[in-house]
Amino acid sequence: REMGSMGENNRSATGLRPAFSPLGIWAFSIGTSIGWGSFIVTCNTYLQKSGLLGTVFGLLIGMAVILVITWNLQYMIRQSPGAGGIYTFEKKVSGSDFGFLAAWFVLLTYMAILWANITSVPLFARFFLGNTFRFGFHYSIFGYEVWMGEALLSICAVVLIGLLCARSLRIPHAVTVAGSVIFALGFTVCAVLAALRHNGALSYEPFYTAGSAPFAQIVRIAAISPWAFIGFENIAHFSEEYRFPVKKVKGILICSVIITTLLYLLLSLLSVSAYPPEYASWLDYVEDMGNLDGIRAVPAFFAADYYLGKAGVAVLMLSLFGVILTSLFGNMLALSRLLFAAGRDREAPESLGRLNAHGIPSNAIRLIVIVSVFIPFLGRTAIGWIVDVTTLGATIIYGLLSHAVFRHAKLAGNTAEKVTGMLGFLLMLVFLLLLLIPGLLPFDAMATESYFLFIVWAVVGLGYFRHLVRRDSRRQYGSSIVVWVILLLLVLFASMMWVSRETESATQNAMSEIYAYHQTHPTVTRPDADADTLVFLHKQAERIQRTNALFTIVSFGLFFLSTAIMLNNYRDTRLLGQQLSAAERSATTDQLTGVKNRLSYAQFEEALNDRIESGGVSAFAVVVCDVNGLKHVNDNQGHSAGDTCIRNACALICKVFKRSPVFRIGGDEFAVLLEGDDYDNRATLLEQIAAQAHQNMTTAGATLSAGMSEYIPGQDDCVHPVFTRADRQMYRNKNAFKAEKARLS
C-alpha cells in the first residue's frame, strides 16, 4: 500500500521531521546531478570522444535509460519511504545481505561526489580569483599542486556546510532552492542567447569524431550516461521528511531528469559554439583545454564571454556557484540519512542512528565532516580517480534498485514495475559489463587508478561484511551466497581491467621509446648496429612482461584475499547457523516428549496467519487432544507415572498423525496442524484416536479425547477461531468419554 504524506504528523516514526517541499526536492535532484565536473567532463569525455551529435544522441538514449530507473525509483519511494533509500528498500525486499551491498556502494558513490565538490571550491576560487588562496606550504601529489590556503578553503567549506546541516534544515532547503533555480535559469539564458548570437564563421562541426562509426560513438556516451545523472536519486533519503504526499514524487523526478538532460544538451552546445582564433575547430580547442588557464580553460565560460561579455561570465559564475552549494548540501544530507538508517539498523555504530534536538542526525554529519577534512590534502588528481569510481557505483546502485523493484512488484502483482524493474536491471548489467570487461568499450571510461580503488573498496566491503556476519546473533547476514559472489566477481573483473590497462600503458610507453630510438638511431652499416637494436627491443619487451607480471600477481593476490575472506565468512556463517539451529531446536522442543512445544506452536500459528492473509492457504484443520485422567494418575501413582502417561499419549498421537506437526501446548494438552494427506484423511485419523481411546479404556493404556475443526475460507481470518472450535469439540468429546467410562464401571 502506498504511503501517505509525512507532513500529516509532526515527525516520522523515527523522529525525523518533515522539512522538504516539492520545490526543494526538485532542487536537490537537479543540483546534485550537475556540478563543476559536468562542465569539464562534457568537454573532455563526451564531446572530445563522440562529437556534438554523438553526445546529443548518446545523452538522449541515456535519458531514456534513466527514465526507466526513475520509474523504479518513484515506485520504491511511494511503496517504502525511508531514510536509507535504496539500502532500506533492498534490505526489506531481498534481505540484509543485499541491503548491505546497496549501502556499501551508495556510501562510496556519494562520498566521492561530496569530496569532488569540496575540492572544486578552490578550483572555482582559482578560476575567478587567481592565486588569492595559493599561500602557505605546498607540495605536489600525483602531478597536482596542493596549497595550504586552498586546503583551508575546502575545509572551511565542508565544516560550514556540516554546521548548517546539523543545526537546521531551513537554511539548506532555502539555499538549495535558490541555487538550483538560479543555475537552471541563468545557465539556460546564457546558452540560448549564445545560440541566437552564434557566429556563422565558427562551425559546429565535427558532428562526430574520427576513428569510429557514429553509432559506436553514440553507444559509448549512452554507456557512461549514468554518471551524468548520479545524485538525482538521493532525494529518496529524504522521503521520511517530505511535507507532501509521496505520490507527487513521480512528477518531480521525471521533471528533474528531463531538465537535467536539457541542461547537459545546452552545456554541450554552448561549449562548442565558440573557440579561440588560434584553433581550427572546437575539437582542437577542447583537446587542448587542459593546457589553458582562466576562462579559456572551460569552453562554456569562454563562449559566454565571447557572446555576452563579462555579464555572461558573471551570470554563469553565479549559476555554477549555486549548483556547487546545492550539491554540497544535497550530498551531505543524503549521506547523513544513509548513515542514520544504517546506525538505526545496527549495521553501523548505533550513535549514528541518533537525532539531536532538531530532529537531525548530527552524529552522522559530524562523522562525514571529520573524514572529509583530510580529503583536500590528497589533491584533485587522486579525488578525480575516486570520482571516476562513481561511474561504476552509479551502475551498481541503479541495478540494485531495479532488482529490488522487480522482486517487490512480482510479489505485489504490479505488472508495469515488474517490466521496468527487469529492464532496468538488464540495462545496468550490460553497462557494468561494458565497464569491466577489457576491450568492449573503444575508449577509457575510467582512469586506470580508479579500477584499483574500486577493487580496494570491494575488498574492504568483504572485510566489513565479515565483521557484520561474526557479530550477527540474529542470523540476518550471510544467508545469501549471491552477495559474496557479486563482490568477488567485481574484484575479479575490475582486476582484469586494471591489469589490461596497466599493460596497455606499458606497451604504449614501449612504443614511444621504440619510436624515439628509431629517430635517434638512423640505419647504419656498423656490424653491431643490428645487435644493439635487438638488445633495445628485448629490453622493451621485458619491461612490458614485467609490468604485466607484477600487476597480474597483485591482481590475483587481491582476488585470493577476497576469496579467503569469502570462504571465512561462509565458514563462520555455517558455524553460527549450526549453533543457532541447535539453540532454536532446544528452545522449541518439549523436553519430556520430544515433540514441538508451545513456543513452536506460536511460531507455526504466526506463519500460518501470514499465509491466510496473503491467500496462500486454502485448506487445513486443527486437532486438539487432551490426556484423560492425568490428575488421577499423578495423585495416586506419582508424577513419574504421570510423565509416562503423557509420553505414551504423545506416542499415540504421533503414530496416528504421521505427516503432521505435533505440539505439546499444555501439561496434558496437544495440538496438531493437519495439511496435505493427513488433512485429506482427517476423519479416518480422528476415528483411530477415538477407537484407541475406547480400547485402552479397560486397560492401562493412555486414553485421549480429541476435537477437530476445519479452516473455513472467508469466515476465519486467522488460526485462532479454528483452534477455539476444535478445543470446544475436544471438551464435548471428553465429557462424553467420562460418561461412557462411568457407565462401564
635 with 696, same domain: the answer is yes
What is the tally of structural domains in the chain? 3
413 with 534, same domain: the answer is no
544 with 531, same domain: the answer is yes
Domain boundary (390, 425, 446) is at: 446
Identify the residue whose cell numbers are 509416562.
644
In a domain, 593, yes or no: no
Domain boundary (431, 446, 461) is at: 446
In a domain, 715, yes or no: yes
Contact 734, 626 (CB under 8 A): yes
427 with 453, same domain: the answer is no
Contact 326, 26 (CB under 8 A): no
442 with 481, same domain: the answer is no
pLDDT of residue 662: 93
131 with 161, same domain: the answer is yes
H-run or E-run covering 19: none
248 with 330, same domain: the answer is yes
In a domain, 389, yes or no: yes
514 with 653, same domain: the answer is no
pLDDT of residue 95: 83
Contacts of 717 by beta carbon, 8 Å cutoff, 6+ apart: 612, 613
CA–CA distance, 434 with 193 (Å, rounded to integer): 38
Task: Name the pTM for this structure.
Answer: 0.69
The span from the first CA to the last CA of the chain, in angstroms, equals 63
546 with 436, same domain: the answer is no
Domain boundary (446, 470, 493) is at: 446
Identify the residue whose cell numbers are 516428549.
593
Q: Which domain holds residue 15?
A: 6-446
pLDDT of residue 628: 85
CA 192-196-202 angle, 5° bins:
110
Residue 507: count other Cβ atoms within 10 Å of its Cβ.
16
In a domain, 242, yes or no: yes
pLDDT along the chain (745 residues), means of 10: 45 72 92 82 84 92 93 93 89 86 87 84 76 83 80 92 92 92 91 87 86 84 81 90 91 94 93 90 88 84 91 88 88 93 87 89 94 84 67 86 92 90 93 72 62 76 76 62 70 62 62 65 57 64 64 64 65 63 75 89 88 79 90 83 88 89 90 89 88 69 84 90 93 85 69
425 with 457, same domain: the answer is no
Contact 446, 435 (CB under 8 A): yes
CA–CA distance, 327 with 37 (Å, rounded to integer): 11
CA–CA distance, 5 with 12 (Å, rounded to integer): 10
We report the CATH number of the domain holding residue 684 as 3.30.70.270
71 with 123, same domain: the answer is yes
What cell does 383 get? 579525488
In a domain, 329, yes or no: yes
218 with 119, same domain: the answer is yes
In a domain, 1, yes or no: no
In a domain, 92, yes or no: yes
Please write down the HEC assignment for all residues of 543-602: HHHHHHHHHHHHHHHHHHHHHHHHHHHHHHHHHHHHHHHHHHHHHCECCCCCCECHHHHH
pLDDT of residue 563: 67
In a domain, 354, yes or no: yes
